[in-house]
Structure 1
Amino acid sequence: MVNGTSLTVIQMNDSHAYFDLHQEMFWQGGQAVYRPAGGYARIATLVKQIRAESQGRVLFCDCGDTLHGTYPALETQGEALIPILNSLGLDAMTAHWEFAYGPATFKQRAAELGYPMLAINVYDQATKERLFPPYSVKEIGGLRIGLVGIASNIVDKTMPPSYSEGLEFTLGREELPPIIDVLRTQEKVDLIILISHLGFSQDLQLLSEVQGIDICLSGHTHNRLNKPVLQGKTLVIQSGCHGSFLGRLDLEFEDKQIVDYRHELIEVEGDINPDPAVDDLIRQALAPYQDKLSTVVGKTATALNRATMLETTMDNFLLQALLENTGAQLAFSNGWRFGAPIIPGEVTVNDLYNMIPMNPPISTVELTGEEIVAMLEENLERTFARDPYDQMGGYVKRSLGFNAYIKIENPPGQRVQQVFVGDERLQLGRNYPTAFVTEQGVAHKYGRNRQQHTERSIEALRAYLARHRPLRAELRGTFVAV
């Protein structure tokens, strides 16, 4: 019998390979303010402090989007992060953008980690075997703890085919109850923690259907939860992005039952002393790229961020560059959430790769007005679907060259009210020359005369900065919720 036991759970989610200090955006007095935050060496310092306070009764879990998102990560297919992550003392993680390197490479990266990659919902199409273990069990302070992983389920649905080649992804709603039963009856665990990358809304829906999870560490949607959400009997937390925050959940037990808890969303502040050993690993990882990434390529008068759902200044910069590069009338990219802010002042190559680390080629296509409306309706449904399981990640598709008036609460296919291109209403039968990046910008099923150009995104961004000094990329009211 265990009485008076305590356990501290630490969450990191969506750090997107942000090795070191970077700008982060905060809302203050109704306005955006920026200050430096993050970095794995500062995270290491905080985790060591928490371990000391908690006498080692600590679980540290990562919800994924960790091995992808910055230039050094992509150049090494995640390998540059492995020594750093292994130094943090993590207990388990799950995944999303990690699949961008392809299943074989990702499996190799996972094998190099000193802790398990968990996913109940990713299968080999040929063998029907799971790609990763569904759970692991830890014993801490007399408690047996089951850790269950659910990876992002959208990898084979909305992302490039190479990410999921030979794999299939489920929601995990069918697999989770049997896993809970195994953990309770065979593994005899006292506590079950779900490490999820489904997204906050999806996690709440899943937990409304499946009983038996004690703690859900939620990822993917970059929510900064200042207090846990209680879904049934499950405590749910999520802790921002870019490694700018950690979530801390202190649990008190009597007879192996949670009787009290305290939660803190911890900002990884810039003035935290970085852990020397981890800081040295970071310096080694970044050294080969330092000269290239520190090169100044322009100035911005606009604070660039991706913190708003309908339109962002960061993506307006990208889209303005696409329009100028191609001479197209309209431009589209994906509603990415990742990308640390760029404050007014100098812009470096590193800033550009943080915006769009994949550096995809620029493409053009001709779209009819009817196709544009259909594409917008599809995207709005994937963003605002009433059924959380139909929400497919990211914010509203980043767009430029038109103004769309939308009703978010309307049913699927009925959200777009009016669209104007300049002063004219969108003509359904007319062709509009359009620039875009990635299939998430314009899917293959739309348009004709599709061309992939030789110039890539970073080149276009650099050229635009050279011609526009300083850069201005303010919000234009592309989407207006009415």
Structure 2
Amino acid sequence: MTLEDIHIYHTNDLHSHFEHWTRISSFLQRRKYLHQSANEEVLLFDIGDHMDRWHPLTDATRGKRNTELLNEVGYTAVTIGNNEGITLSFEDLDTLYQRRRFDVVVANFFTANGTRPQWVKPYQIYELKNKARVAVIGLTAYFSHFYKQLGWTLSEPLEELKHQLAEIKEKADMIILLSHLGIHDDEAIAEQFPEIDVILGAHTHHVFHEGKEINGVILGAAGKYGMFVGHITLTIDSETLHVRKKRAIAYDSNQLPYVEGEKEEENQLYEEGKALLLTEVARIGEPYRSREVLARLLCETLRSWCNVDSAFLNEGLILRDLPNETVTEYDLLSICPHPINPTVVDLSGAEYQEVIRLALEEKWRNMMIKGLGFRGTFMGQMIFEGVEVKHGKNGLSFYINGKQIEREARYKVAIPDMFTFGQLFPEIRRAEYKVYFFPEFMRDLLRWKLQNLQ
């Protein structure tokens, strides 16, 4: 029996954090060269959210420079994450991979009419030198409602996986799943589909330092922001092509070999994006030297843009002031970098009063928050538009545009979409009526307002 090793390297959830990218790129290219020199097979995958529009270069090029960076390393295939999928307009996503030199595999991704775009494959089968056939399937997170508003359609991931596995089971000797679904779905898939050899995970930013084996399936995951690089080694019988051994490790990027000029390259990527964004979008009569004043302007804009009676948001959405009369795209990105969309929810008066009570608590001012699309640090105080709170003998009473809120009445409220996720505001999360506006971010509303100041 002759044994051979297949080396699989994987990254995920870089989110345009290029602090380690030069080091990762050098490491992967060097490893690829060494394996190929030893006549060993090597495959390289990214599991989505490589791009994030908080970074000037990604925002300015709508992710196309991220595609070029993946090309330079020599990736074999990628799948998309929600940052590729729902923070770009239809046209921007449809052209994101025009110049790719790798495969894009996303089995549950379709156009609105149910066909796959020309740049997407449900799976790809790679035939190795020893004739072993490796099938690679991709799946992305099931944010079907959001994709629909942007002109795309998603199928349910596990049902799609069943369909694709049935199609490829006779065509492949090994199966690798690129999963931007999250750790819980990955573990469930491993239990349900033991015919899969490897699941490379993403989305929930988890790390498996030495992999995790479930039901004979090995799971790999490399955290977030390029902090780790994953490496799976499959040892196969070169005659029967059966997998005999599976090993996994996650390399800490801080411990990868230093690359001369890496900090300069990171800065260069930032400055390249900044230069592209130094285009004037508005001229204002007086600078805004207060974050709170800008946050109030954004809240006022949110209410009018969504055409509702009231709105509220957190001051932490605004990261700095506007000190100059000329406003550029870079200013808007620096002020409000979050991929957060305007949203309208419908609440009863009783529910809205509970939301307001909670929003008035002091805890928000210094609450640190990560995720939910938020790219700042502190939530900051809550700012309202159209809402008045009065203190009386019987406690607080609440008014919208001068009229007291009625417990049984219904109210439409404009908010940042992050309030509908997690446990920030339970009444909002439970609301049945939610309308998300795509592809506009909160900074797009701010641009619109600054361009139309009287």
Task: State TM-score, norm by structure 1.
Answer: 0.60
What is the distance in 2 between the residues matched to 1:324 and 1:274? 45
Residue 84 of structure 2: aligned partner? 98
Tell me, yes or no, if the aligned pair for 1:319 and 1:400 is still in contact at 8 Å: no
Q: Does 1:58 align with 2:42?
A: yes
Q: 1:285 to 1:329 in 2, by over 3 A?
A: closer
* Structure 2 counterpart of 1:147, one-letter code: V
Q: What's the CA shift for 1:283?
A: 6.6
Deviations 1:337-394 (A, max 9, x none): xxxxxxxxxxxx899759834476799998744258799xxxxxxxxxxxxxxxxx96
Tell me, yes or no, if the aligned pair for 1:16 and 1:241 is still in contact at 8 Å: yes
Tell me, yes or no, if the aligned pair for 1:120 and 1:130 is still in contact at 8 Å: no
Q: Does 1:15 align with 2:17?
A: no
Residue 416 of structure 2: aligned partner? 437
Q: Does 1:147 align with 2:136?
A: yes
Q: What's the CA shift for 1:162?
A: 4.5
Q: What's the CA shift for 1:81?
A: 1.9
What is the distance in 1 between the residues matched to 2:247 and 2:292? 44
Tell me, yes or no, if the aligned pair for 2:311 and 2:415 is still in contact at 8 Å: no
**Structure 1 residues 59-458: aligned runs within 5 Å:** 59-69=43-53, 70-96=55-81, 97-99=83-85, 100-129=87-116, 132-142=120-130, 143-154=132-143, 156-157=144-145, 159=146, 162-163=149-150, 165=151, 167-185=152-170, 187=171, 189-254=172-237, 255-269=240-254, 272-274=257-259, 285-290=269-274, 322=295, 331=313, 353=334, 356-358=337-339, 368-371=349-352, 429=407, 436-438=415-417, 441=420, 456=443
Tell me the secondary structure at the aligned position of residue 269 of structure 1: helix
What is the distance in 2 between the residues matched to 1:291 and 1:145? 43
Tell me, yes or no, if the aligned pair for 2:107 and 2:160 is still in contact at 8 Å: yes
**Structure 1 residues 43-54: aligned runs within 5 Å:** 43-54=24-35
Deviations 1:403-451 (A, max 9, x none): xxxxxxxxxxxxxxxxxxxx98999939999884247656896699x9x
Bigger mean CA deviation after superposition, 207-216 or 255-264: 255-264
Q: What's the CA shift for 1:113?
A: 0.9
Tell me the secondary structure at the aligned position of residue 104 of structure 2: coil
Tell me, yes or no, if the aligned pair for 2:27 and 2:256 is still in contact at 8 Å: no
Tell me, yes or no, if the aligned pair for 2:147 and 2:154 is still in contact at 8 Å: no
Q: What's the CA shift for 1:194?
A: 0.3
What is the distance in 2 between the residues matched to 1:5 and 1:236? 20
Bigger mean CA deviation after superposition, 262-271 or 351-360: 351-360
Residue 478 of structure 1: aligned partner? none
Tell me, yes or no, if the aligned pair for 1:333 and 1:437 is still in contact at 8 Å: no
Residue 284 of structure 2: aligned partner? none
Q: 1:173 to 1:373 in 2, by over 3 A?
A: farther
What is the distance in 1 between the residues matched to 2:91 and 2:442? 29
Gap regions ≥5 residues in structure 1: 22-37, 295-317, 336-348, 376-392, 403-422, 461-482
Task: State TM-score, norm by structure 2.
Answer: 0.63
What is the distance in 1 between the residues matched to 2:112 and 2:32? 41
Q: What's the CA shift for 1:290?
A: 4.4
Q: Indicate the RMSD between aligned Cα atoms, in angstroms.
A: 5.0
* Structure 2 counterpart of 1:151, one-letter code: T
* Structure 1 counterpart of 2:236, one-letter code: F
* Structure 1 counterpart of 2:25, one-letter code: A
What is the distance in 1 between the residues matched to 2:122 and 2:115? 14
Question: Taking every aligned residue pair, what percent have the same amino acid on both sides?
Answer: 16
Residue 27 of structure 1: aligned partner? none
User: Quick check: which has more Rg, 1 or 2?
Assistant: 2
What is the distance in 1 between the residues matched to 2:107 and 2:442? 40
Tell me, yes or no, if the aligned pair for 1:120 and 1:135 is still in contact at 8 Å: yes
What is the distance in 2 between the residues matched to 1:177 and 1:433? 41
Q: What's the CA shift for 1:153?
A: 1.6
What is the distance in 2 between the residues matched to 1:364 and 1:180? 40
* Structure 2 counterpart of 1:64, one-letter code: G
Residue 286 of structure 2: aligned partner? none
Gap regions ≥5 residues in structure 2: 279-290, 301-309, 318-329, 357-369, 383-394, 399-404, 421-427, 448-454
Q: What's the CA shift for 1:195?
A: 0.5
What is the distance in 1 between the residues matched to 2:254 and 2:75? 20
